[in-house]
Amino acid sequence: MEPLYPEIVVAGCGNPLYADDGFGPAVVESLQGLELPEKVKVVDAGLGGPHFVFTLLDPESTKKLIIVDIADFGGEPGELRWLAVDELPVGSYRDAHSWDLTEPLQHIKDDIKIRVLVCQKKYVSAPEMVIGITDEVERAIPGAVSEILKEIG
């Protein structure tokens, strides 16, 4: 049976209905407009990051997972940073159901190389809906695409 995902998976996490939380899906949309190697699959993981990691990745076929999301790491809004799983900000990396994404990542990090590209958020509107990311975070999208392309090789 053919694997669901290839060697490299880029997963954008977030919800575009909550301002800067739409960063991950926006980066995914930009990447999907590019011609990428067959070994790369770009997916919008939405709010289901933990569920995605737990149920869809097979270490037999997927060797690298690149997660793209916002975080609060104390930087300037729009600043990009690569983080290891153990560096993810405590308590600020949860989906809508309060699952801490670091938990499933801890389970797979020995089998799949994980890189997390985060953008310092300016504003997240949850639980109120505010569609559209801030200008600072919007300007970070091309840089994020460039960083991911370098990581893909």
Domain that holds residue 148: 8-152
Nearest to residue 44, comparing CAs of 59, 73, 77, 22?
A: 22
Examine residue 27 and state whether it is found in any structural domain, yes or no: yes
Task: Give mean pLDDT, residues 5-33.
Answer: 92
Q: Is the pLDDT of residue 92 over 90?
A: no
Q: How far apart are CA 150 and CA 116, in angstroms?
A: 14
Examine residue 119 and state whether it is found in any structural domain, yes or no: yes
Examine residue 2 and state whether it is found in any structural domain, yes or no: no
Examine residue 16 and state whether it is found in any structural domain, yes or no: yes
Q: Is the pLDDT of residue 95 over 50?
A: no
Q: Which DSSP letter does residue 88 get?
A: S
pLDDT at position 125, please?
A: 82
Task: Give mean pLDDT, residues 74-101.
Answer: 73
pLDDT at position 54, please?
A: 57
Q: How far apart are CA 139 and CA 90, in angstroms?
A: 26
For the beta carbon of residue 139, count every other beta carbon within 10 angstroms: 12
Q: Is the pLDDT of residue 147 over 70?
A: yes
pLDDT at position 8, please?
A: 94
β-bridge mates for residue 69, sequence order = 118
Q: What is the CATH number of the domain that holds 61?
A: 3.40.50.1450
Q: What is the pLDDT of residues 41-74, one digit of tens each?
A: 999 988 766 566 656 778 788 899 999 999 888 9
pLDDT at position 98, please?
A: 47
pLDDT at position 24, please?
A: 94
Q: How far apart are CA 80 and CA 78, in angstroms?
A: 6
Examine residue 54 and state whether it is found in any structural domain, yes or no: yes
Examine residue 1 and state whether it is found in any structural domain, yes or no: no
CA pseudo-torsion sign 108, 46, 23, 122? negative
Q: What is the pLDDT of residues 115-139, one digit of tens each?
A: 999 999 999 887 788 889 999 999 9
What is the tally of structural domains in the chain?
1
- pLDDT above 70 as % of the chain: 82
CA pseudo-torsion sign 74, 98, 29, 67? positive
Q: Is the pLDDT of residue 96 over 80?
A: no
Examine residue 132 and state whether it is found in any structural domain, yes or no: yes
- Residue 134 to residues 18, 114, 140: CA-CA distances in angstroms? 11, 27, 10
Examine residue 52 and state whether it is found in any structural domain, yes or no: yes
Q: Is the pLDDT of residue 15 over 60?
A: yes
